[in-house]
Amino acid sequence: MLIRSSKILIVDDEERIRSGLSAVLLQAGYEIACAANGRDATTLLSKKDFGLALLDINLPDVSGQQVLDFIRRRQIDTSVIMVSGESTFEQATAALRKGAADFIAKPYDPQKLLDTVSAVLKKRQRKKEYLKIQERLQGSEELHRFIVDNSPDLIFMLDDQGYFSFLNEKSRQFLGCQGEDFLGRHFSEIVLSQDFEKVSQAFRYLNRGGHQATRSMELRLRPRNGGEVRHVEVWAISVEMNSLGVYATQRDQGRPMVGIYGVARDISDRKQSEELRRYHLYHDQLTNLPNRALFTDRLQIALGQARRKKQQLAVMFLDIDRFKMINDSLGHLAGDELLQKVAQRLKESLREGDTLARISGDEFTLLAPDIGGVDAADIICRKIQSVFEQPFQLHGQTVRVTFSIGYAVYPHHGQTREMLLKNADLAMYRIKGKGRNGHCCFTEEMNRINSYHFDIENSLHRAIENNELRLFYQPQLDLSTHKVVGVEALVRWEHPVRGLLYPSEFIPVAEQTKLICSIGNWVLEQACRDAVRLAEAGYSDLKMAINVSAQQLELGHFDRDFLNILGKFPLDPTRLEIEITESNLMQDMDKSMRILTTLATHDVRIAVDDFGTGYSSLSYLQTLPIHTLKIDRSFVRNIVPGGEGQNTIITAILAIAKGLDLNFIAEGVETGVQDAYLREAGCLQAQGFHYSQPIGFNKLLAFLEHWNPQRNSTNSKISPIQSYSSSKS
């Protein structure tokens, strides 16, 4: 029945032969599959198990000899009988050498075919049975002894009192001595004292027996020669005696437990690797300080202790001021070295029970448990800042490091780990916003400000999409004629809940969240659209001034984006003037030069806003393609009655503008005194509340329509906006 259940593959290119063979073998009870060529045969042999293949030598694509080579190469467990009409001695010999079981010539006798197939399959069956017997014989004592002695693990047996009765050859590596030297000794002689109780409990458990009593544990062994302590993983099982020897089986009455069989595997390398991995999991690799995960874990433990003992603790965020500038100037390797030096100096200035952690590039956190309250935390901050008054020497350069530190104290500023960390972080950002190099304790006012910023940030994402932004325009006047020569586009936000918001209320948030570029593009496009509408209304000579942020310049492709938007409108580029603050202009002179030069070559005008507040060097005025200087409002504000001597800065800047043939605009003009002084000093243009507040586009059209410069002489004491307001009333 086993032979009849074998599956046979018939491979022959002649349909008549395949059909004949199939009929004979099917009638004999065999399961049959057929292949018409060698390729099909190799495919079937790869996918299915066949006990026997009847293989024609001459096949149209792949010869039978090649199929036989395929079977041998792939080590496919299939017996092969070669079938051929050209039965030559050479072919038969070649096939038999390649592993064929027999050879049948065409035409074949059906009975002889069946006898040959049966004989080959019986031989195959006998071979399989022989291999099974061989496998059983491999359980001999000699083979077992060889396997035990050459095992990579320490194999041992203890008697029922815990004394060694057997150790294999691995004892030399594990224990530093021959196995015979340890026979009759107690296991406690090699187990580290800290693990002895663990082993004793396991031994008592195994000694009590039970159904297949086994135990697994990790231990530390102490070699006799005083070598390095080894970590081992031990699997032990209680064993019992019967008439045939020692067996690890269920314990029965009359079969006493004779001891314990165990295997100890050396896991010292693994334990060392695990310790290293665990260390790196909870420590910063650069400074070896605890990382965020370990810090939060210790903070959680410290909070539990503080609650029980009714103590206070402080959580601090410490951020290195302007670290990016140091890193960019000296290089990342020097920056890493500086971080290591900073970490070391911080550790030396703290108490033993404090936890200092590095949680990001230049940011550290500090846990100070059991302190006296806010005043004590303030003292710690002052101490940290004092120890960094001494600069570092780094690669031949003197580097000074200052910190912005924010802190929160439990329980006053939070009851949970998350709340304390959040509040300390808020305090740190507050001190950074105030100019850095200081420390600050959390207050509830910070929460209110943060909540406001959070609401503004979430709403700002929808402002452009929901068409909530508005452009207001402040007229710029020629002081000699009091004609409107231009307008400055100023963005406002029509918030659905908070009402009209000014730039100071949302632009800082937009800059932090990188939304300023999207807002800037919207402003540019809307300003161009309104400039076209002004031209259509008859004001084609008005200049349109548009503010540009530092982040827009940092993109590197601001000039391309600007010109793409400008290209959408039928607008003369000379009517557009972009305003860039002096500080933003100087952040990256090379990039500013490239972008502004590109825009200037396309006839776009460039203005420097807030001039006079940032840099003493004025060489960039000759280097960059600048057309206009806008003096900062802080200088105009100083123009007061009787204060002529205080206005020399304005006179000097006017002289610079005239010398470089630059246009000059004074902003923030709010009084008639300021207007008169600027006109007498030779200032060409001005803007401010004295003339007009920023107004919407429709009001701007009305303003321009009713503006009548003939009503106002140059000596008039009535401002243009007052005249405009009077005409409207």
474, 693 in Cβ contact below 8 A? yes
pLDDT in tens, 661-681: 899 999 999 999 999 999 988
Q: How many domains does the chain have?
A: 4
Q: Which of these ranges, 208-217, 340-349, 599-608, has the smallest mean pLDDT?
A: 208-217
Q: What is the pLDDT of residue 245?
A: 42
Residue 165 lies in a domain: yes
Compute, in degrees rounded to 10, the torsion defined by CA atoms 578, 583, 588, 590. 60
pLDDT higher than threshold 90 for residue 364: yes
**Size of the chain, expressed as the number of residues it contains:** 729
CATH number of 680's domain: 3.20.20.450
Q: What is the pLDDT of residue 237?
A: 65
Q: What is the pLDDT of residue 545?
A: 96
Q: Which of these ranges, 2-16, 262-276, 371-385, 546-560, has the smallest mean pLDDT?
A: 262-276
Q: Which residue has the tokens 């002052």?
A: 382
Q: Which residues lie below 8 Å from residue 179, measured CB to CB, with a gap of 6+? A: 166, 167, 168, 169, 171, 172
Mean of the per-residue pLDDT values for the chain? Answer: 82
pLDDT higher than threshold 80 for residue 381: yes
103, 54 in Cβ contact below 8 A? no
156 and 211 belong to one structural domain: yes
CATH number of 368's domain: 3.30.70.270
Q: d(Cα 182, Cα 166) in Å, to the nearest integer?
A: 9
CB neighbour class for 650 (10 Å; exposed up to 12, middle 13-18, buried from 19): buried
Amino acid at 393: Q
Last residue of a domain, one of 442, 474, 498: 442
Amino acid at 232: V
317 and 361 belong to one structural domain: yes
Q: Angle 89-97/64-73 helices, nearest 10 degrees? A: 10
Q: What is the b/e burial string over 313-327, where b = at least 16 CB atoms within 10 angstroms of the residue's CB?
A: bbbbbbbbbbbeebb
> In the Cβ-directed half-sphere of 164, how many Cα atoms lie within 13 Å?
23
Q: What is the pLDDT of residue 215?
A: 64
Q: d(Cα 389, Cα 430) in Å, to the nearest integer?
A: 22
Q: What is the pLDDT of residue 406?
A: 93
Q: What is the pLDDT of residue 720?
A: 47
Tokens of 648: 């020399």
133 and 219 belong to one structural domain: no
The larger pLDDT score, comparing residue 650 to residue 370, is at 370
pLDDT higher than threshold 60 for residue 247: no
Q: What is the pLDDT of residue 711?
A: 37
Q: What is the b/e burial string over 455-489, where b = at least 16 CB atoms within 10 angstroms of the residue's CB?
A: ebeebbeebeeeebbebbbbbbbebeebebbbbbb
Residue 91 lies in a domain: yes
Q: d(Cα 499, Cα 433) in Å, to the nearest integer?
A: 26
Q: What is the pLDDT of residue 165?
A: 80
How many angstroms separate the most distant Cα atoms in the chain? 135
Beta strands 685-687 and 469-478, pairing class: antiparallel
499: left (phi over 0), alpha (psi -120 to 50) or beta: left
321 and 256 belong to one structural domain: no
Residue 454 lies in a domain: no
Last residue of a domain, one of 98, 116, 137: 137
pLDDT higher than threshold 80 for residue 393: yes
- Which residue(s) pair with 440 in the sheet? 406
Percentage of the chain lying above the pLDDT 90 cut: 35
254 and 354 belong to one structural domain: no
47 and 104 belong to one structural domain: yes
pLDDT higher than threshold 60 for residue 703: yes
Parent domain of 163: 144-272
pLDDT in tens, 409-463: 999 999 999 999 999 999 998 888 778 899 999 988 887 777 777 778 888 888 8
Q: 256 pLDDT band (50/70/90 cuts)?
A: low
CATH number of 77's domain: 3.40.50.2300
Q: What is the pLDDT of residue 487?
A: 96
The secondary structure of residue 259, as a DSSP letter, is E
Residue 675 lies in a domain: yes
Residue 488: C-alpha distances to residues 106, 190, 441, 476, 630 (Å) = 104, 88, 41, 7, 12
Q: What is the pLDDT of residue 614?
A: 59
pLDDT in tens, 283-293: 998 999 999 99
Q: d(Cα 666, Cα 478) in Å, to the nearest integer?
A: 11
Q: Which residues lie below 8 Å from residue 30, measured CB to CB, with a gap of 6+? A: 4, 6, 7, 8, 117
Host H or E run for residue 386: helix 374-387
117 and 19 belong to one structural domain: yes
Helix (H, G, I), strand (E, B) or coil at 631: strand
671, 450 in Cβ contact below 8 A? no
594 and 554 belong to one structural domain: yes
345 and 473 belong to one structural domain: no
Mean of the pLDDT values across residues 116-124?
A: 89
Percentage of the chain lying above the pLDDT 70 cut: 85
Q: What is the pLDDT of residue 713?
A: 38
Q: What is the pLDDT of residue 571?
A: 92
The larger pLDDT score, comparing residue 728 to residue 250, is at 250
CATH number of 258's domain: 3.30.450.20
Residue 451 lies in a domain: no
The larger pLDDT score, comparing residue 716 to residue 559, is at 559
pLDDT in tens, 27-84: 888 899 999 998 999 999 988 889 899 998 888 888 888 898 899 888 898 999 988 8
- Helix and strand numbers (H, E) in the chain are 28, 27
Taking alpha carbons only, the member of 716, 710, 726 closest to residue 675 is 716
Tokens of 208: 């009590």
Residue 452 lies in a domain: no
535 and 584 belong to one structural domain: yes
Q: d(Cα 229, Cα 604) in Å, to the nearest integer?
A: 78
Q: d(Cα 41, Cα 34) in Å, to the nearest integer?
A: 8
Find out whether the peptide bond into 60 is cis, omega within 30 degrees of 0. Answer: no
Residue 448 lies in a domain: no
pLDDT higher than threshold 90 for residue 722: no
pLDDT in tens, 125-180: 888 877 776 666 655 666 667 777 777 787 888 887 778 888 887 776 667 666 66
Q: d(Cα 266, Cα 173) in Å, to the nearest integer?
A: 10
Q: d(Cα 35, Cα 177) in Å, to the nearest integer?
A: 65
Q: 236 pLDDT band (50/70/90 cuts)?
A: low
Amino acid at 12: D
CB neighbour class for 105 (10 Å; exposed up to 12, middle 13-18, buried from 19): middle
Q: 249 pLDDT band (50/70/90 cuts)?
A: very low
- Which residue(s) pair with 441 in the sheet? 407
Last residue of a domain, one of 217, 249, 272: 272
Residue 63 lies in a domain: yes
Most confident stretch, 211-220, 527-536, 659-668:
527-536
Host H or E run for residue 265: strand 257-266
Helix (H, G, I), strand (E, B) or coil at 468: coil
406, 377 in Cβ contact below 8 A? no
Taking alpha carbons only, the member of 412, 413, 409, 407 closest to residue 441 is 407
Q: What is the pLDDT of residue 355?
A: 95
pLDDT higher than threshold 90 for residue 4: no
357 and 405 belong to one structural domain: yes
Most confident stretch, 8-22, 79-93, 100-114:
8-22
Q: What is the pLDDT of residue 712?
A: 39
575 and 617 belong to one structural domain: yes
pLDDT higher than threshold 70 for residue 716: no
Q: Which long-range contacts (CB under 8 A, 24 or more apart) does 396-401 make?
A: 397/330, 399/326, 399/330, 399/338, 401/320, 401/321, 401/338, 401/342
Q: What is the pLDDT of residue 53?
A: 92
Q: What is the pLDDT of residue 295?
A: 94
